[in-house]
Amino acid sequence: MTSQTLREARKYEEASEKMIKQEERPDFHLSVRTGWMNDPNGFSYYNGQYHLFYQYNPYAPRWDSMHWGHAVTKDFLHWDYLPAALAPDEAYDRDGCFSGSALTLPDGRQLLMYTGVLRERKENGEHCDTQTQCLAVGDGVDYEKCAGNPVLEKNDIPEGSSVHDFRDPKMWQAEDGTYCCVVGNRPADGSGQILLYTSPDGFQWKFKSVLAANNNRFGKMWECPDFFRLDGKWVLLTSPQDMLPEGFEYHNGNGTLCLIGEYDEETGKFTEQHNQAIDYGIDFYAPQTVLTPDGRRVMIGWMQNWDACSLRSPEEKWFGQMSLPRELFLKGGRLYQRPVRELDEMRRNKVEYHNVTFSDVISLNGIRGRKVDMELTLRPAEGEKLYQKFALRFAQDEKYQTAVSFRPRESVLKVDRKFSGSRRAIIHQRRSLVNSTNGELKLRVILDRFSVEVFVNDGEQVMTATMYTDQSADGISFFADGTVNMDVVKYDLVS
């Protein structure tokens, strides 16, 4: 039975989707059907296709009244919208269906777990949330909330931990068939922790352990955890709020964190061996992963930064897009990412240049566009001293440009959207320390109308940023202070 609230949302989204032209959206990145989108939810493979739900306010391009939007894809690049899956329509979730996850039950139904929010509004304008975990079961289109909701609440969290910050369950099925889920929470020390729960059937859940505790090391509350085995290790992804920069890491305030280590399934404890940011650019948050039938761990993130939402003007018809889905792997103890291999199928019109030696500014015939996949290999020119700086400029015309620049002496790569046409001075650039010796660097740059994703050194780091520059600014140029020698292979991406 769909509720009145959900029926209204479905009617509204169908009608208002038609007001947005295809060219006003990203081409192969999923954007919100209408209104506002944040976190990816319920990323899963179900009945022959990938399902992606998302945090969704259909009614306006700003955060409010969280629903779950819904889209499906077979290749991670061509998406079809389905009707909104969840609406805040029950006594236990009337102030929002917050983030969560999905899995397939043995009887073939799809199980969703999400955070139900009740908001108490105080007279002084402040508010106080109570957050619980709730279930819904469905057939890939329609979902029914379970009678036993909420299934995890205040009695299921450790003494002293907060019911106000208890959210974003990510479920998976362990090898022995047990269902597990991790939930973000705030312990008494005010920072973050990840709680682990287990269930024999997906419906009855029991507290198992504190999987990992922040102890105020990485920001405060840990949102949107994901936990999985990858290349012989265990990986915990989470999005901490209020992070402090450490060197070149963790510059985003609300940032992303990847912990790699060991997991003791008996005790339910994770032991960290390595930490790093997940994305080193401006716009990436709350990622979630899916395991594909061919064994790939694919991650997608909200391609946005909470602190930069007003980059886009409030009159726009939509707000929010997802990152490119990325295949994850470990190398040298670090997390690596590469665009899903399905993207190669969209490559057309190859243009290549080898050993281009240049100083100052050049553009190259056939290299322009806003839907582009481009590989650059940089090195110093033979017999010349090390160059000072290299820059790739794109989304460019006489007035605008966004740039990725590299200073080999400092090994610093920077993404800069100051001239992307935004009237707000909101987080315009981010710098990252990259691995480079003697000015050598490999970049794969992917543009899709309103975004850039830069994969550095075959996926060792990724820098992601959105830009809403008018599409007519489609120039691309190269700059060198000193002399650079470069190979370029460029494709148009055609869906």
223 counts as binding ligand FRU under rule CB under 6 A: yes
Burial class (CB in 10 A: 0-12, 13-18, 19+), 426: middle
User: Is residue 370 close enough to count as binding ligand FRU by CB under 6 A?
Assistant: no
Which of the 8 DSSP states describes residue 92? T
Minimum CB separation of residue 158 from ligand FRU in Å reads 19
Near ligand FRU by CB under 6 A: residue from 181, 194, 195, 224: 224
Smallest distance from the beta carbon of 478 to ligand FRU, in angstroms? 36
Q: How many other C-beta atoms lie within 10 A of the C-beta of residue 409? A: 11
User: Which CB sits closer to ligand FRU, 223 or 373?
Assistant: 223
Indicate which residue of 27, 39, 165, 283 is catalytic. Answer: 39
* Cis peptide bond prior to 158, omega within 30° of 0: no
SS3 content of the chain, % helix, strand, coil (to 5): 5, 55, 40
Supply the minimum distance, in Å, between the C-beta of residue 319 and ligand FRU.
13
Could you say whether residue 323 binds ligand FRU (CB under 6 A)?
Answer: no
Mask for 54-93, x = binds ligand FRU (CB under 6 A): -x----------x---------------------------
Residue sitting closest to ligand FRU (CB) = 98
- Give yes or no: 39 in active site: yes
- Indicate whether 38 belongs to the interface with ligand FRU (CB under 6 A): yes
Q: How many CB atoms lie within 10 A of CB 151?
A: 21
Based on the shown chain and the rule CB under 6 A, indicate whether residue 168 belongs to the binding site for ligand FRU: yes
Minimum distance from residue 104 beta carbon to ligand FRU (Å): 22
- CA distances in angstroms from 4 to 1, 50, 114, 148, 413, listed in the order given: 10, 28, 20, 21, 51
Least separation in angstroms between CB 293 and ligand FRU: 28
Q: Are strands 461-466 and 451-456 parallel, antiparallel or unpaired?
A: antiparallel
Characterize 12-21 residue by residue with b for buried, 16 or more Cβ atoms within 10 angstroms of its Cβ, and e for exposed: ebeebbeebe
* Closer residue to ligand FRU, CB minimum distance, 214 or 485: 214
Which contiguous run of DSSP H or E holds residue 6?
A: helix 4-17
How many CA atoms are closer than 13 Å to the CA of 202, on its beta-carbon side? 24
Nearest CB to ligand FRU, comparing residues 255 and 408:
255
β-strand 35-46 against 318-319: which pairing, if any?
A: parallel
Q: Which is nearer to ligand FRU, 115 or 130 (CB)?
A: 115
Q: Any contact of residue 220 with ligand FRU (CB under 6 A)?
A: no
Total residue count of the chain as it appears in this document: 495
| DSSP secondary structure letter of residue 154 | G
Is 256 an interacting residue with respect to ligand FRU (CB under 6 A)? no
In the complex, least distance from residue 119 CB atom to ligand FRU, rounded to whole angstroms:
12
What residues make contact with ligand FRU under the rule CB under 6 A?
38-39, 55, 66, 98-99, 115, 167-168, 223-224, 285-286
Residues labelled as active-site residues: 39
